[in-house]
Amino acid sequence: MEKSRRKLMERWLRSSGKTVSLTLALLLITTGLSAQKMSADSTRFPIGGQIYLNLSMEVNAGDRVTWPTTGDTLTSQVEIISKSPVDSVKAGNGSLVLSQKLLITSFDTGFITVPPVMFLVTAKDGSTRQVLSNPLLLEVTRPVVDLTKDIRDIKPVMTAPFTLRDFLPWILLLLAAGLIGALLWFYIRNRKRNKPFIKLPSKPVKPPHEQALEELELLKKEQLWQKGQIKEYYTRLTDILREYFEKRFGVNAAEMTSDEILGVMKDFLEEVSTLNDLRKVLTLADLAKFAKGQPIGAENELSFTYARSVVMMTSAAPSLTQENAAPGEKSTGNVSSSNTNKD
């Protein structure tokens, strides 16, 4: 008996087509509702297909309806993909029509029963009533497969659209190749022109008198003669003066004796007192270095003072003509100027 009933229901559903709207009578526990229906866009769809299940109810104006709460599934075989908000529309007779759409699917084949849906209606006078719908029968079909043909995909392979991420490695590779090529070209060009690949800013060179004064202050802080290192003290003191003369006047003082230095520096030292101070320093230095003399502390202090005075008295900036002249010409200009003054 049950089997015959099921066959009759199946035959009726198939004759209805995909656009059938199935209206189910409701079992009213209490009266008072005008109409309520649950319909489907189609009661027959393929496995994995999607259809809309429409819920609607017409109630009297002023009645409050508690809409059934649905989760992600209606049953273990029917899944809810999405659902619309409950919408309300006023009917022509003054009643209110509430409706909602559920997008459902199923991945089980065969006949599936949608369970009854229960609504709770509260009237104006405070009385409540329950409304139940009859179950809805759906049929989920299998895909038709022609076994005589070769196996093939249900759908062709989709080609994903290209994005910037797909081209980013190639863009970075081209930029790196361009950068390497530019650096190589810059290196070859500078090499042909005998220029450094990367030109670093040079440190400004201090004037000779500043270097000499800094070395003198450093020698003073070491306190060599106070520690009994007389010879080392005068060696350092005269070396500072020799280096200063070489940088300031272009005199090869490092290879000269004290007398030779005095003879050459006559052409550069305009003040006689300055030349006398230099002679005193060199004389005491020769005494300490070669004759093993032991100058007293006051003489050591005076030698330092004389050496500093020589540097200070000859530290004047060169004239404008000397600044514009070539480095090799400055010494010549100084010698000529000194000879003229001497004459």
Residues 17 and 126 in one domain: yes
H-type alpha helices, 74-225: 164-192, 208-222
Residues 229 and 107 in one domain: no
| CA gap 196, 201 in Å, rounded | 12
Tokens of residue 259, six digits:
């007398």
What is the model's pLDDT at position 75?
A: 87
Query: Does residue 157 fall inside a structural domain?
Result: no
What is the model's pLDDT at position 8?
A: 41
What is the model's pLDDT at position 12?
A: 40
Burial of 242 (0-12, 13-18, 19+ CB in 10 A): middle
> Of 141, 165, 181, which one is at a domain's C-terminal end?
141
Query: Does residue 178 fall inside a structural domain?
Result: no
Residues 12 and 129 in one domain: yes
Query: Does residue 54 fall inside a structural domain?
Result: yes
Which three-class secondary structure state does DSSP give residue 130? strand
Residues 134 and 20 in one domain: yes
Residues 130 and 214 in one domain: no
Query: Does residue 264 fall inside a structural domain?
Result: yes
Residues 27 and 132 in one domain: yes
Q: What's the pTM value of the predicted model, to 2 decimals?
A: 0.38
What is the model's pLDDT at position 171?
A: 93
> Of 141, 158, 174, which one is at a domain's C-terminal end?
141
Dihedrals phi, psi of 266, to nearest 5 degrees: -60, -30
Helix axes of 258-265 and 230-249: crossing angle, nearest 10 degrees: 30
What is the model's pLDDT at position 79?
A: 93
What is the model's pLDDT at position 35?
A: 57
- What's the CA angle centered on 87, arms 84 and 93, to 5 degrees? 150
What is the model's pLDDT at position 180?
A: 94
> What CATH number corresponds to the domain at position 20?
2.60.40
Burial of 18 (0-12, 13-18, 19+ CB in 10 A): exposed
What is the model's pLDDT at position 199?
A: 64
Query: Does residue 285 fall inside a structural domain?
Result: yes
Quote the domain boundaries for residue 48: 2-141
DSSP string, 27-79: EESS----EEEEEES-SEEETT-EEEEEEEEEE-TT-EEEPPP--SBSSSS-E
Amino acid at 319: S
What is the model's pLDDT at position 177?
A: 94
Query: Does residue 181 fall inside a structural domain?
Result: no
Residues 119 and 20 in one domain: yes
> Of 91, 106, 141, which one is at a domain's C-terminal end?
141
- Per-residue burial over 139-167, b if 16 or more Cβ lie within 10 Å, else e, is bbeeeeeeeeeeeeeeeeeeeeeeeeeee
How high is the mean pLDDT in each 10-residue block of the chain (343 residues)?
A: 44 39 35 59 89 86 84 89 90 83 92 87 86 84 82 78 88 94 86 69 78 87 84 87 86 84 81 82 82 79 86 65 40 38 37
Residues 28 and 117 in one domain: yes
Alpha-carbon Rg for the chain, nearest whole angstrom, is 56
CA dihedral of residues 10, 16, 20, 26 (deg, nearest 10): -50
What is the model's pLDDT at position 192?
A: 76
Residues 16 and 137 in one domain: yes
How many structural domains are present in the chain? Answer: 2
Residues 217 and 111 in one domain: no
Residues 137 and 224 in one domain: no
| CA gap 39, 238 in Å, rounded | 116
